[in-house]
Amino acid sequence: MDINIGIQIYTLRSEMSLGYDEVLKRIAETGYKGVEMTYDPDNGKEVGELLKKYSLTATGAHIDIFKAENDMDTVIKFMENIGAKDVIIPWIPDIETEEQTIATAKRIEAIAKKYEPLGYKLGFHNHVTEFSRKFNDKTVIDIFYDEAPSLKFEVDVGWAYAAGADVVAVLNKLGDRLMYIHVKDVDENNKPTEIGSGQTDMKNIIAAAAKLGVKWGIVEQDECVNYKPFDSIKMSWDFLNTKD
């Protein structure tokens, strides 16, 4: 594997009643080297200690744009606790029209500029809409790329594929603004499934990301329907670590 493989902890949200200790332990036992967190400032210190205990790297965290914009001190404290520098907006409203989308991009740029001097990067994680919705032949991602030059991108390759995008071409266009990829596979109905059991050309996508210098591919499966979550993430791990 030419890239480090992490897991977005959202994939295991149904298992969080076990507690962070057990969940992170089982992630490490499966083989994953990193964890992308969701925002949980009340437990940031505990998470940071447990990540060290299990030799896991916090790649970054998904943080709502409203929190990133208006609760910066708490966000930074959380990031310090988990030992990460990449703040990633997981979803965004206000992209219904071209005018709205440009305004949203400028808003994102202003937020990125606040974090940048403190040593933090701001990234954006896409869903289908950001590739399928177009204004004068420009996707939402295109507009964000043009209007928010400080913004990095975490391309969710499964959602990009489901939108009909040429994923490798997207990665190459983003170039050094590509922060990470979300390693997501989708089935014939464009529903998330275990890596290797769906439609995406994952090995070539990962190779393209690695060639661009991307250090982390982060597995995310929004719903684990066919298998229990821990079994699901092991299947994905096993596929990604099988030699061709």
Domains and CATH numbers, the chain: 4-240 (3.20.20.150)
Beta-carbon contacts of 145 under 8 Å, excluding residues fewer than 6 positions away, are: 151, 153, 173, 174, 177
pLDDT reported for residue 242: 84
pLDDT for residue 210: 97
Burial code of 5-14, b = ≥16 C-beta within 10 A, e = fewer?
Answer: bbbbbebbee
Q: What is the pLDDT along the chain (244 residues), one digit of tens a residue?
A: 589 999 999 999 999 999 999 999 999 999 999 999 999 999 999 999 999 999 999 999 999 999 999 999 999 999 999 999 999 999 999 999 999 999 999 999 999 999 999 999 999 999 999 999 999 999 999 999 999 999 999 999 999 999 999 999 999 999 999 999 999 999 999 999 999 999 999 999 999 999 999 999 999 999 998 999 999 999 999 999 986 5
Instruction: Specify the pairing of strand 4-8 against strand 34-38.
Output: parallel
C-alpha pair distances (Å), 239 with each of 13, 39, 68, 167, 209: 22, 29, 35, 20, 17
Angle between the N-to-C axes of helices 140-147 and 98-115, in degrees from 0 to 180, rounded to the nearest 10:
50
Query: Tokens 């266009």 label which residue?
Result: 173
Q: How far apart are CA 61 and CA 187, in angstroms?
A: 27
